[in-house]
Amino acid sequence: MTVVGEAKQQAERKQPAAAAASLPDLLYSEAESQLRAAVRALLTDRAGWREVLARTETPQSYDTGLWHALAADVGCAGLLVPEDLGGAGASYREAAVVAEELGRAVAPVPYLGSAVVATTALLSAGERLLLPDVASGAFTAALAVPFAAGPPGRPAPAVRIGAARDGDPAGTSRLTGTVAGVADALPADVLLVPADGVPFGLYAVAAGEAGYSAAPVVSLDATRQLADLTFDDVPARQIAAGDAADAAIAAALTAGAVIIASEQLGLAERCLEMTVGYVKERRQFARPVGSFQAIKHRLADLWVGVTQARAAARYAAACLAAGDPDTPVAVALAKAACSDIAVKAGQETVQLHGGIGFTWEHPAHLYLKRAKADSIAFGTADAHRASLARLADLPAPAQAG
């Protein structure tokens, strides 16, 4: 049994019989704390910043060995998958805890793309054939949409559906087109591809099929490489069509926005910890630089921002897990707040570390680059603030003149 399964069983045995309160509990449960400890222990052992930095200098920076350990040994790949399909039957709360730890380590693994985004799309579409292999870590999946695409609407499909060839198995379609800037596609064994046709559909494509290629692109965040995907008359199997496909993609993008907010939270927390530790030790004028009032104020502001972001991220994960009607508002709030604080934390880490913070030999740049890339992913902070304004029925700003 995985760590996730053991923690879940313990939590269920201790769960009180009383009905849950109407408001979600934002505190971490015992099962979530145990999951955090297991993931952090593995990352401490296998994903120190020097190892992560070394991987960014290779052509393909994803650490597939670490990913398989997280997926199979800890059970992170199947967190959201029901137990009858080989998963842990956990919720987005547990998925968010894992994302926090991966953000703290800027770990180069396809957890977000496979265990969250693609898995949510498969669950929404009712696809049962692929889910057991995805849950076990035997397959890694990715949704073929640009990393910057955010909820609530889906991006216009760049792939079109063609007729099957003679000799193709029944139910086969052929896909042609290019999708740019896809995250977590390089290590993927299966691509979930939105394709335009009559009707619009979501299709599964095996990465080994002739006519499919994934070309790495220069990415700001080398710990999460983007790729341009090309489909040249590639055979595919439809897993959802019409409104069901739209719903699956929308659910996947919403889940991605929620969980990446928790990743940003973990990143910001780690930046704050590193910076506080450094200014306590670094001395100027015979005293720690952290004793200077200007430094204290900047770090105090950062702490307040991180604390607020934690509340927003936890609330969004809890709403998504419970299917709360407030989920759209919570998602927009969390992604906007966490994007801002993660970028600010990365910037402060570089600046308050002084000269060493600007060098390749310090991890500060890894965090700043991940923060900047994450701030664009699944919708920018400004886009989510605009969405929040619409949801809250706020008037548009008055036009000057």
* CATH dotted code for 3-13+24-139: 1.10.540.10
Quick count: other Cβ atoms within 10 Å of Cβ 9? 12
* Structural tokens at position 5: 């399964």
The predicted-structure confidence for 108-118, as pLDDT tens digits, reads as follows: 999 999 999 99
The predicted-structure confidence for 77-88, as pLDDT tens digits, reads as follows: 999 999 999 999
Per-residue pLDDT of the chain (401 residues; tens, 9 = 90+): 666 666 556 545 544 433 344 678 889 999 999 999 999 999 999 999 999 999 998 888 999 999 999 999 999 999 999 999 999 999 999 999 999 999 999 999 999 999 999 999 999 999 999 999 999 999 999 999 999 998 877 788 889 999 888 888 988 999 999 999 999 999 999 999 999 988 899 999 999 999 999 999 999 999 999 999 999 999 999 999 999 999 999 999 999 999 999 999 999 999 999 999 999 888 778 788 877 889 999 999 999 999 999 999 999 999 999 999 999 999 999 999 999 999 999 999 999 999 889 998 899 999 999 999 999 999 999 999 999 999 988 876 676 65
pTM for the full predicted model = 0.91
Q: Topology of domain 247-391, per CATH?
A: Butyryl-CoA Dehydrogenase, subunit A; domain 3 (1.20.140)
- As a 3-state breakdown, the chain gives helix, strand, coil percent values, each rounded to 5, of 55, 15, 30
CB 134 within 8 A of CB 77: yes
For residue 363, which of 46, 40, 50 has the smallest C-alpha distance?
50
Omega before 132 within 30 of 0, i.e. cis: no
For residue 158, which of 127, 190, 182, 124 has the smallest C-alpha distance?
182
Pick one of 2.60.40.10, 1.10.290.10, 2.40.110.10, 2.60.40.1080 as the CATH number of 159-246: 2.40.110.10
Q: Write down the domain spans for the chain.
A: 3-13+24-139, 159-246, 247-391
- How many angstroms separate the CA atoms of 102 and 42, rounded? 11
* DSSP state letters, 330-357: HHHHHHHHHHHHHHHHHHHHHHHTGGGG
Per-residue pLDDT at 17: 37
For residue 353, which of 265, 253, 278, 254 has the smallest C-alpha distance?
278
Per-residue H/E/C for 242-296:
CHHHHHHHHHHHHHHHHHHHHHHHHHHHHHHHHHHHHHHHCEECCEEHHHCHHHH
Q: What is the dihedral of CA 160, 166, 171, 173, to 10 degrees?
A: -10
For residue 135, which of 181, 173, 78 has the smallest C-alpha distance?
78
- How many angstroms separate the CA atoms of 388 and 316, rounded? 13
Phi and psi at residue 157, to the nearest 5°: -65, 135
Q: 3-class SS at 235?
A: strand
For residue 263, which of 108, 81, 47 has the smallest C-alpha distance?
108
Query: Hey, do 3-13+24-139 and 247-391 end up sharing a CATH topology, with the first three levels equal?
Result: no
Q: 3-class SS at 241?
A: strand
